Structure 1
Amino acid sequence: MSDPWDGPSGQATRNRGARVPGQRAAEPDGARPTGGRAAARAAARGHGGKRGHRSRTAGRGRKVLKNLAIGLSVIIVVTAGAGWWFYEHLNGNIHSVSLDGKGGTEKADAFGRTPINILVMGSDGRTSEADCKLGGGCSKTGVQTGSNADVEMVLHISADRSNATVMSIPRDTMTKVPACQDSESNQSTSGYYGQINSALQYGPACQVATVHQLTGIPIDHFVKLDFSGVVKMSDAIGGVSVCVSDDVYDTYSHLKLSKGSHTLKGDAALEFVRSRHGFGDGSDLGRTTTQHIFLSSMIRKFKSAGTLTDPTAVYGLADAATKALTVDDGLGTVKKLISLASDVNKVPTKRMTFTTMQTAADPGNKDRVVVGPGAKTLFATIAHDQSLTTGSGKKSAAASATAKPTAPAVPASRIAVTVENGTAVTGRASDIAATLTDQGFSSATTTANAPSPSATTTLTYGTGEKDEAQTVAKTLGLASSHLKQGTGTALTLVIGSDWPSGTSFPGGSSSPAPADTQAAVGGAHASTADQSKTCAKVSPYKTVTIDGVSMTPSQAYAAARGTPDSDA
């Protein structure tokens, strides 16, 4: 297509038969004026044709502008194409799996905002040559097919995006695994009692269902990362800064670091997050704390100036992240992952709380743990979208940052209720009692059959226990007309035939009572992501061996001077 400004020779052209606007009409026949502009033009033509030179210069100038415009157009098209290619490339990296609704569903708050709960899993699978090289253990078996979720963290982002909680679940926790079938491998189980991390053998959806069943927390999404994924992510952001309280050499994970601060990349980063013999008491509980230190540092790096504004860094990070992650269908596109990253970025680091689920020793196996005191209260704070920090970032002793209700005079954890079934429906008392304990009420809550059938649900309280009764009533949606004062010293809830099903009283306005956040963080090793000076505490126990000799990780460091440090 020809340019309307240029003729075949590249010079300006006009339709000679047309009158140009503003052109002077022809002069009458006879001699033309000898002066004025006509004479000047004639003189110019007689003295070297300077006007012709200016015309050619203007033509070349317009040609340069034309070529520049074409060049810019090409650049824009190429850039847009590269952007589209990059977007499609990233989408092609992502591996997604359906959750099939096995994690429950979050409820919106009064303003229509919905919290986000994500199960973050670190797989121990040696399902590729890269993972075999990094994780070891493949010398006899070769590349394997199964995997366990050796890292499990529930990431909760509040409905108003003002705060977040990360709760680690130790891999050694014993629990009930529900009936599951992996949609990809078709491997299935009818359910069993076992170690929580084993559920991943039946697919990510089974691991999500197991955590949901254990905690009562709705799990909307999952993110799964393998050994090589940790290496890729740490390299993509230029390393993660950590601190160790003393010299440490974990002869099992091969982490070897001198006392002080280090920037870990690649294998060293993986060795740090995998180390369970180098820190704490040498168990998985110590490892969760060091993982919190690592993740806190990574989050600060993400948020720091330069990381997310450097196109090269963003490309490397996005490419590494999408290759490293397996996610659910709800996070299965770059657009959705960007939206999630934006939600996380809205939360200040001082309002991101890291905790570890409270545990107790398993009576049947000293090397395993079960859910401990305080854990149900921690579960309740997450399930009910309560913040574990205040607006200033300090530990919260009150309730949700979104609703900000007044804390009850007596914490729910200290309120025990006797729930009696006055209906003909089997299990009603157990259902309501479970609802109360799941929402942070005392584990001393008990069940029984009512002495006689009851048409009306009533909550009877003793002298001085009205506040406790109102807390219970608010939780269950009971109106004040169902409360009455008795002569005893305990709270007794009789379920009547007016409440035949469900865990909220029909027609009531049930809103969960604020859980006791002091109890929620008690024994949970709580910290916030802004604590940049926290060092991982090296184990003082003899948790490692060299040549069959047991020693502490610091002693092992001194004994292995010929072994290079992980960040050397």
Structure 2
Amino acid sequence: MVSSRVRRRRLVVGIAGGLVLTLLVGLGALALRLQGNISSEAIAAPTSTASAAAALDAPDPAMNILLLGSDSRDLAVGDYGEDTGTKRSDAMVLVHVSAGNTRAEAVQIPRDTLTDLSMCTDSGRGLPDDYGMVNGALNYGAACSVAAVQSMSGVQIDHFIELDFSGFQTIVNAMDGLAVCLPDDMEDPYSNLALPAGAQIIDGTQALALARTRHAVGDGSDISRLGNQQMVMSAIVQRALSAEVLTRPDRLIRFLDAVTSSLTVDTALANLASLTSLAHRMSQVPTASITFLTMPWTEAPSDENRVVPSEDAAVVFASLAADTPVPIAGAAEADPVAPVEPVRVEAVSVLNGSQTDGVATTTAGQLTALGYVVASIGDAETDTPTTVLLARDSDAARATAASLAQELGITIVISGEPDADAEDVVLIIGDDFASLGAPAPAAQAPVEVESRSAAADLCAR
């Protein structure tokens, strides 16, 4: 059953979506203005299964997005130092949205991470050194940042979104500030931060200072500030999805104008339809299922002041690549909101779309052993890729599709209404199933990592 809070949230989001469409249709000039705001930069075309699914117009495959916070000083507002003509990624977050929008993980990559930069192709700004800090790749273009993170993580990146200091401030101010809660007073003259302890509303300048401060936390390193960034990101999610923003036309228009004018995105995202689709997908993810976590790291052998991904980082990245939840030690105890268990429909139909006899029967037996009820076994047209079809697009059917993807160890394309007489969920086995359809690997031991649910109480330590 879907909780009343989730239903209310979806109702608010649905009303807001309708309001946005009405505004854009009724105010053509506004739509043109928002479209004209968007800046873009090309990256290499993704080749992942998720991207192939998107090319077939299948809704909601798994998706990976690289968020880049630029430290460029070429700004219209603010005093952040002299513009030297360079820019680096002051913050870098790899966001994974699961197939069916059941969860999202946002992995913060420390800017001091050393990695191979040789995968970058010439973006017109020259090529970086072969090995160096990952944050320096942005100086040669977003495509270099994407290539560096793909090479380091093994996760195929579908899109990027870049935001500079003044853009971050503008977006926060368009929401009339963020609600945060600090355990102690925080002061840092280097980032112009001066905030008292306790719950409070902060503006864009204060939010940026809180996210950037290093000297007010821990040992003053880049790693120390990542916890504050998790709190700020949680506050942004909670505020952006709140009724105070979504149901206020004045605030919502300011927010949309600020977002579109502040971002640089890849060319595939550089239109209102694509950005709206992405926003809609994120709005479907339960807030309690959005997890912020820091990439597990260890001291770099070549430099004690730099870091490299640890063995636990490989577990995190492998989970993202396989579209399975990241196993986080203590996550269930730390999360104040109980995780939502997948709801399985009563029946799954299994069809053989491969050229191998007996595959559907074998798979049906595996599904039964996993606790599913198999309603029927049959044949589909050959040369069909392994796919999950939804005859009725319900919450339960989507949960079942996501559960199948995880338990069978495959990436599943969710498509719409194959047959009015079919069961809610139909699993078609294709010739690709031999390589993709092996049982999921044994569960990895939970990783020790700093993490936070987007639904967590902002005052909770």
Runs (5+) with no aligned partner, structure 1 = 1-78, 405-473, 477-503, 537-568
- Partner SS for 1:120: strand
1:199 correspondence with 2:137 = yes
Shift of 1:196: 0.5
Q: Pairwise mapping of residues 187-266 of structure 1 onto structure 2 (< 5 A)?
A: 187-189=125-127, 191-266=129-204
> What is the match of residue 440 of structure 2?
513
Higher relative contact order (CA 8 A, sep 6+): 2
User: Matches of 1:218 and 1:512 in 2, distance apart?
Assistant: 22
Does residue 1:177 correspond to 2:117, yes or no? Answer: yes
Which AA in structure 2 matches 1:100?
A: A
Partner of 1:96: 40
Counterpart Cα distance in 2 of 1:199 and 1:222: 14
Are residues 1:122 and 2:69 paired?
yes
Residue pairs, 1:334-373, within 5 angstroms: 334-373=272-311
Give how far 1:82 is off. Answer: 6.1
> 2:178, 2:235 within 8 Å by CA — same for their partners in 1?
yes
1:315 Cα deviation (Å)?
A: 0.5
Are the equivalent residues in 2 in contact too, given 1:386–1:401 (CA < 8 A)?
Answer: no
Aligned-partner SS, 2:244: coil
Query: 3-state DSSP class of the match of 1:366?
Result: strand
Residues of 1 paired with 2:49 and 2:432: CA distance?
20
Residue 156 in structure 1 maps to residue 103 in structure 2: no
**What SS is found at the alignment partner of 1:154?**
strand
CA displacement, residues 375-428 of structure 1 (integer Å, 9 cap, x when unaligned): 1001011111112489xx9479xxx98899xxxxxxxxxxxxxxxxxxxxxxxx
Shift of 1:176: 0.4
- Equivalent runs, 1:61-460 vs 2, <5 Å: 83-101=27-45, 106=50, 108=53, 113-130=60-77, 133-136=78-81, 138=82, 143-181=83-121, 183=123, 186-189=124-127, 191-388=129-326, 394=332
Paired residues of 1:105 and 1:219 also in contact (CA < 8 A): no
> TM-score, with normalisation over the residues of structure 1?
0.56
Give distance in 2, aligned partners of 1:105 and 1:505: 11
The structure-2 alpha-carbon separation of the partners of 1:129 and 1:239, relative to structure 1 and needing over 3 Å to count, comes to closer
Q: Is contact 1:208–1:222 with CA below 8 Å preserved after alignment? A: yes
Distance 1:153 1:229 in 2: 17
Change (3 A) 1:256 1:535: farther
Q: In the alignment, is residue 530 of structure 1 matched against residue 455 of structure 2? A: yes
Distance 1:202 1:403 in 2: 46
Does structure 2 conserve the Cα–Cα contact (< 8 Å) formed by 1:103 and 1:209?
Answer: no
CA distance in 2, matches of 1:395, 1:514: 25
Partner SS state of residue 151, structure 1: strand
1-side partners of 2:234 and 2:174: how far apart?
A: 16
Q: Separation in 2 of the partners of 1:356 and 1:106?
A: 24
Distance 2:28 2:76 in 1: 32
Q: Against the structure 1 CA distance between its residues 517 and 161, is the aligned structure 2 distance closer, same or farther, given a 3 Å change threshold?
A: farther
Distance (whole Å) between structure 1 residues aligned to residue 185 and residue 133 of structure 2: 32
Query: C-alpha separation between the residues in 2 aligned to 1:246 and 1:375?
Result: 31
Q: Could you tell me how far apart the structure 2 residues matched to 1:374 and 1:209 are?
A: 21
Contact 2:137/2:144 (8 A) holds in 1: yes
Residue 212 of structure 1 deviates from its aligned partner by 0.6
Shift of 1:285: 1.5
Equivalent position SS for 1:307: helix
User: Which has more radius of gyration?
Assistant: 1
Give the 5 Å matches for 1:489-504: none
Query: Which residue does 2:420 correspond to in 1?
Result: none
Distance 1:518 1:533, change over 3 A: farther
CA contact (8 A) 2:161 2:264 kept: yes
CA displacement, residues 81-137 of structure 1 (integer Å, 9 cap, x when unaligned)? 86111001000000011112268553659x97511110001000112343xx3322x
* Gap runs ≥5 in structure 2: 1-22, 335-339, 345-407, 411-430
Measured in 2, the distance between the counterparts of 1:272 and 1:509 equals 44
Contact 1:356 1:525 in 2 (8 A): yes
CA contact (8 A) 2:192 2:209 kept: yes
Q: Is the 8 A contact 1:121 1:222 kept in 2?
A: yes
Indicate conservation of the 8 Å contact 1:386/1:514, yes or no.
Answer: no
- Give the secondary structure class of the aligned counterpart of 1:153: strand
Would the alpha carbon gap of residues 129 and 144 (structure 1) be closer, same or farther in structure 2, given more than 3 Å must change?
farther
How many residue pairs get aligned? The number is: 346
Tell me: CA distance 1:358–1:120, structure 2 relative to 1, closer, same or farther (3 Å): same
Q: 1:193 to 1:96 in 2, by over 3 A?
A: same
How far apart, CA to CA, are the structure 2 residues paired with 1:374 and 1:146? 33
Contact 2:119 / 2:147 at 8 angstroms: preserved in 1? no
Query: Secondary structure of the equivalent of 2:101?
Result: coil
SS in 2 for 1:238: coil
Q: Secondary structure at the match of 1:134?
A: coil
Cα distance in 2 between the residues matched to 1:300 and 1:241: 9
Distance 1:103 1:363, change over 3 A: farther
RMSD (CA atoms): 3.1
Secondary structure class of the residue paired with 1:118? strand
SS in 2 for 1:530: coil
CA pair 303-128 structure 1, distance change in 2 beyond 3 A:
closer
2:243 match: secondary structure = coil
